[in-house]
Amino acid sequence: MKVVAISGSLRQESFNTALLSAAREFFLPNLEWVEADIASIPLYNQDLDGAKPASVALLLDQIAAADALVIATPEYNYGIPGGLKNAIDWLSRPAYRSVLAHIPTLIMSASMSATAGVRAQGQLKQVLAGTLTPVFPCPEFAIASAHTCFSDGKLTDQETQQKLQQLVSDFTSWVEAEVDPAE
């Protein structure tokens, strides 16, 4: 299985990037894990749809070759960070036939706030519905007070680790069923 991971945060010490690293530990060892970089993607401009910038072409290729997508996103002003939404806008072309169409996706978030990014997750689910991206049907996995659960970029809270391990296991089973519905 090949998974592309996208952090919706551009911050170097991001809890969401750390959450992706923690999740990676619970996937099977033979998994190919690609952490995509959305920091260098320019603002979406339909005039560039034909000759896409190199950073966009790389992201498109990464997701086109993947079996699943994992997104960890913070919440900015009750919503999706602009960089993540911009990346999705690039990835969503051509409409209904993009690399996002039909790729099994897991959404997570970590935040210092008490709401833990759930509003951003809700918005992200709406945006991904418009790209025909199936999102793992589970309650939101959202880490509130993330500054108490991470230390030096590592997830240290044992209860959260156990929940994340179960989430990854359940998601992996769902992806396998989505990729090969005959099983």
Residue 178 has pLDDT above 80, yes or no: no
Once rounded to an integer, what is the mean pLDDT over residues 50-63? 95
Split into its structural domains, the chain has a count of 1
Give the separation between CA 117 and CA 121, rounded to whole angstroms: 6
Residue 174 has pLDDT above 60, yes or no: yes
Give the separation between CA 9 and CA 15, rounded to whole angstroms: 8
Residue 97 has pLDDT above 80, yes or no: yes
What radius of gyration, in Å, describes the C-alpha atoms of the chain? Answer: 16
The parent domain of residue 152 ranges over 2-179
User: In the structure, what pLDDT confidence band is assigned to residue 79 with cuts at 50, 70 and 90?
Assistant: very high
Q: What percent of the chain has pLDDT over 90?
A: 89
103-128, pLDDT tens digit by residue?
999 999 999 988 899 999 999 999 99
Note the helical H segments in the chain.
15-24, 54-64, 82-91, 118-129, 158-179
CATH number of the domain within which 98 lies: 3.40.50.360
In single-letter form, the type of residue at position 86 comes to N
Q: How far is CA 150 from the centre of its chain?
A: 19
